[in-house]
A and B are shown apart, each in its own frame.
Chain A
């Protein structure tokens, strides 16, 4: 575990017998029950199972056995991760009659083996198809920093639960930006690992070509520790940040951003000493390809159910999936061919820099009653367009660390994009930005940090 993180502090206390895992877990559950009515980030509390696992942790401590590096640390999972004994809903009533999961998703099992305790499932856009966590079945998740605003999505419950201080970390999935967008709007740390690196076993699928799972956390230390366990990696020795070549992405990624976002990126680049600007070619077509692959694969996945019971779907999801299911093969294949071409261009850029800096969103969270953003001078749907800067990067499968900028007012986040498998460089830069005070997650009162009375 990394010193300095909220999860580290909990685990250190539990391992040393200063707090019991049961008191941590029951305290967090009580906190969720008391405060989440404002945010709607949690869909289910896993009370009895969580307490039972916490009792196991406490027994291990009492017996002198190693309870794991995350002993007694509570966490939540987006409602598409299998949790043993629970029905995985993927944010929909369409799957509600499925049998409960017979075992945990692989990453949940790894975290549980490390002593962490899943205490809640978290809200999301239905089947992860959206950027806003507006869900006809489970309601809209509200931004803890201003409940009148969107939390972003589709992992909105995960981001909001961390930003609210309900949980020290949570798991999300990212197909087109679903970890990064809510991380930006809620001001939390997030990681989209390299495509294919972290197992998806037991995660309800959306788009096989793009799906990735990763953590969201209140400190970069916790983000790194949880990622290391999820990926079953050895603890990382981070490179000297001075040896990491950093450039900012221009062109598409410099357009449409708010003055606050522009100023935040300027400050980051000034601190890191990188004045290189790289412009990727054909970014609009990269985004189009991600959009089309998503629509085609998502539509195909749901086609059998759409034929039989389409009216059970959230209306917004239904229409998008139906349109995607009808896409011609020629369009899908062209998008997959373009992906190959774009990959080569991005690798050319990565020969010039180790880390590419880009905005996550155009600006701060839109209001729930005005769910739109301005792109190219037009007001467009937030649900469909909050990912204009994340979708082109999703197409590449590169690792991206979402950094919450230390700004006044509503949160804003930036993407640190790295080469495949080079998460260590992203963490080196992120840690430096946190150390320098340019990046910070500022959760509301963290109930999990309160010691037993």
Chain B
């Protein structure tokens, strides 16, 4: 099966849809937690990007990795 069939999250601001059925991350709270102030004018775009990233995170979280699979911090191709 082509994995393209599972492609999902679309880019923000494209009108491509796909955002309505996803939970919206609490951007203002998350920003406060890291000492970041999001300008009001930027908030819609930041939210759109956070939703996009949440979609990718959900996609990744749906894949079970063995406990022995370590993070690739010191990566050698």
Contact (Cβ within 8 A) B60 A334: yes
With beta carbons under 8 angstroms apart, the residue of B7, B16, B35, B69 that contacts A379 is B16
Chain B 1-29 interface residues, beta-carbon cutoff 8 Å to A: 1-17, 25, 27
| Interface residue range, chain A | 35 or more
Contact (Cβ within 8 A) B42 A420: no
CA distance A336 to B14 in the complex (A): 28
A282 within 8 A of B: yes
CA distance A375 to B76 in the complex (A): 32
Query: What's the A-B contact tally at a CB cutoff of 8 Å?
Result: 172
A285 within 8 A of B: yes
Residues in B whose Cβ lies below 8 Å from that of A397: 75-77
* Chain B at the A interface: SS class: loop
Contact (Cβ within 8 A) B7 A338: no
A284 within 8 A of B: yes
Query: How many of B's residues come within 8 Å of A, CB to CB?
Result: 51
CA distance A372 to B12 in the complex (A): 12
Q: Mark A96-128, 1 if CB is under 8 A from B, else 0.
A: 000000000000000000000000000000000
Contact (Cβ within 8 A) B56 A195: no
With beta carbons under 8 angstroms apart, the residue of B17, B33, B65 that contacts A337 is B65
Contact (Cβ within 8 A) B10 A378: yes
Shortest A213–chain B CB gap in Å is 15
Residues in B whose Cβ lies below 8 Å from that of A316: 45
Residues of B bordering A, CB below 8 Å: 1-17, 25, 27, 30-31, 33-39, 42, 45-46, 48-50, 52-53, 56-57, 59-61, 63, 65, 69-73, 75-77
Q: What are some 6 contacts across the A-B interface (CB < 8 A)?
A: A252-B3, A255-B2, A282-B3, A333-B71, A340-B72, A379-B14
Starting from the known contacts A323-B52, A337-B71, A376-B7, 15 additional A-B residue pairs (CB-CB under 8 Å) come to: A254-B2, A284-B6, A284-B7, A284-B8, A311-B39, A325-B34, A326-B30, A326-B33, A331-B57, A339-B72, A375-B7, A380-B11, A380-B16, A381-B12, A384-B12
